Amino acid sequence: MKEQDFLSVVSKLVEIIDGETNNHVECVAKISRILASGLPGLTSRNIEVLYTAALLHDIGKAGIGDSIIRKQGKLTEEEFTIVKTHTTIGGKMLSGSKSEILQTAEIVALQHHEKWDGSGYPSGLIGKNIHLFGRIVAIADVFEALVNERPYKKAWAVADAVDYIITRSGTQFDPELVAIFKDKHEEIVQLIGEKDASI
């Protein structure tokens, strides 16, 4: 079995643990690939490594208890603090590998909840101190989560989710990547099966 195939199987296991039924992990990886394709300087190999690494962005949730991961309704402050540790748990799970894909996956797992303005977690990294691939997956992860129903919220309208990403350029998200998102949002919306891509 090829490394990419094996990691795809692992990502599906993470989705089962997380109680996901809408292929969240794979969709985040595909959105990340679309965003990366709009960046000059990235090779096709870079983009495919990112795609495979993004499949593992939530692997740390395997270390969070079911009672929190699958809770119906809003998390308490204490529960949310525990959930946030999935980033560092994932980083530890993926650390120490000589594989380019797993090294990239470690970065993505650790940094996909960092924010451009430094208000994210776990390290409060600012701007380009956040790895490019972490910045890309951050947008993909948030957008995919917004447009799909979760135990704690209803699905957002696609137009509202697109607007959320755009209006947080320079605060939550990298402005350059938001510009690419805006340019490619119709392709991204088509990916998630939404027909109305108007904004």
Lowest-confidence pick of 6-10, 36-40, 86-90 = 6-10
User: Structural domains in the chain?
Assistant: 3-191 (1.10.3210.10)
Q: What is the pLDDT of residues 43-56, one digit of tens each?
A: 999 999 999 999 99
Classify residue 173 by its DSSP letter: B
Residue 19 in this model has a pLDDT that exceeds 90: no
pLDDT value of residue 122: 98
Q: Which pLDDT band, with edges at 50, 70 and 90, does 18 fall under?
A: low
Cis amide linkage into residue 175, ω under 30° from 0: no
Q: What is the pLDDT of residues 180-196, one digit of tens each?
A: 999 999 999 998 774 34
- For residue 33, give every residue at least 6 positions away whose Cβ sits within 8 Å of its Cβ, in sequence order, or none: 47, 48, 50, 51, 54
What is the mean predicted confidence (pLDDT) over 13-33? Answer: 79
pLDDT value of residue 24: 86
pLDDT value of residue 186: 92
What's the mean pLDDT when you consider all of the chain?
89
Classify residue 56 by its DSSP letter: T
Are the C-beta atoms of 86 and 65 separated by less than 8 Å? no
Q: What is the pLDDT of residues 107-141, one digit of tens each?
A: 999 999 999 999 999 999 999 999 999 999 999 99
pLDDT value of residue 5: 66
What is the percent of the chain where pLDDT is above 90?
Answer: 72
Classify residue 150 by its DSSP letter: B
For residue 101, which amino acid is it?
Answer: I
132: nearest Cα among 162, 111, 113: 111
pTM of the model: 0.90
For residue 63, which amino acid is it?
Answer: G
| Whole-angstrom distance, CA of residue 24 vs CA of residue 20 | 7
pLDDT value of residue 108: 98
